[in-house]
Amino acid sequence: MKTRIAIFLLLLLSSAVVSAQKKSYAKHNKGYFFDAGVSFGGSFPKDNPQPIFEVYTTHGYQFSNTFSIGAGVSTYNTENIIVYLQLRFNLRNINENRTSYPYLSLRTGYAWSTWTGDTWGDDKGPVVDPHLGWSFYTKEANLRWSVFLAPSFYQFHFIPKIGLAFEF
> What pLDDT is stored for residue 49 in this prediction?
78
Of 61-75, 87-101, 125-139, 145-159, which range is least confident? 87-101
> What pLDDT is stored for residue 30 in this prediction?
84
Residues 6+ apart with CB under 8 A from 10: none
> What pLDDT is stored for residue 99 in this prediction?
81
CA quadruple 150, 81, 70, 157: dihedral sign: negative
CA distance 86 to 109: 9
pLDDT tens for each residue of 78-90:
888 999 999 999 9
CA distance 14 to 11: 5
pTM of the model: 0.80
> What pLDDT is stored for residue 76 in this prediction?
85
> What pLDDT is stored for residue 15 in this prediction?
52
All structural domains of the chain, each given as residue ranges with its CATH number in brackets, are: 2-167 (2.40.160.20)
Of 4-13, 112-121, 125-134, 136-145, which range is least confident? 4-13
